[in-house]
Amino acid sequence: MKVLVTGVKGQLGYDIVNECKKRCIEAVGVDVEEMDITDAKQVENVITDEYDAVIHCAAWTAVDKAEDEVAMCRKVNKDGTENIARVCQQLDIPLMYFSTDYVFDGLGEKPWHEYDERKPLNIYGQTKYEGELAVEKLPKHFIIRISWVFGVNGNNFIKTMLRLGKEKGEVSVVDDQIGSPTYTYDLAKLCVDMIQTQEYGTYHATNEGICSWYEFACEIFRQANMNVKVNPVDSSAFPVKATRPKNSRMSKKELDKHGFNRLPAWQNALKRYLKEIL
């Protein structure tokens, strides 16, 4: 099997390529230098019939910046995804696309099911939703919604907390946004399992368990053996341009239905991650 992985310089793309290599699956990783996804012609030239599938990790992920640069965010997340989907459809090869909990409005306390109504609260969420619509047209597609991502190859909440903890010894973290952290190493294993099947559809894939950002921060410092004071605060304490969903709980009903293993508990994922980076 030979797969093309976009966004190889990101946290997830990096881990997916490594996971493929472990399993002797040929994975070609590309980033903007090798294939600008917003350039339709370039996409056509790079994605050829030598590939058995495309795993599309590349995305605009600067959530607040997206509110100011709407056109560019849409060009990457919607138009870029449409360019890839078009070629995959022409070649009749599966496309795996990564979306986000941000496609939902974040209201209530119930876990979001895979086919619940999508009502994004911000530009980033809206453009990822538009990307989903493009991918859904393909008979052979996987849409995987993820949240609160962390991996070794890039910046994330954990690395930020560790840095601030060392610099200041005290941090304030919001406690009214609930979700599930997702370790890209664990996610990559699931994705490589999935891409070798024909179990197409929409899935939610995060590490098991839920927490607030505040609880996540407390556990980070506990496991890292750092004496840092963590102050729980309301989201209003950190005014941002893009509204965040308060409820990012996500059902894993489709993973269970199609026989895929759920990811390990987020606390366990954090423990393994800290061993990698500390």
How far CA 164 is from CA of 138, 168, 172, 199, 229, in Å, comes to 44, 6, 10, 42, 11
Distance, CA of 128 to CA of 112 (rounded, Å): 16
Residue 47 pLDDT class (50, 70, 90 cuts): very high
Question: 161 lies in a domain?
Answer: no
Question: 173 lies in a domain?
Answer: no
- Catalytic option among 51, 102, 124, 183: 124
pLDDT, residue 276, reads: 97
Question: 93 lies in a domain?
Answer: yes
Question: 175 lies in a domain?
Answer: no
Task: Mark whether 51 is an active-site residue.
Answer: no
Read off the pLDDT of residues 250-266 as tens digits, 9 standing for 90 and up: 999 999 999 999 999 99
Residue 208 pLDDT class (50, 70, 90 cuts): very high
Domain count, the chain: 1
Residue 79 pLDDT class (50, 70, 90 cuts): very high
Average pLDDT score, the chain: 98
Token pair in block for residue 107: 């209201």
Question: 65 lies in a domain?
Answer: yes
Per the structure, the complete domain to which residue 107 belongs is given by 2-155+181-208+250-263
Question: 232 lies in a domain?
Answer: no
Question: 217 lies in a domain?
Answer: no
DSSP H or E segment with residue 22: helix 11-22
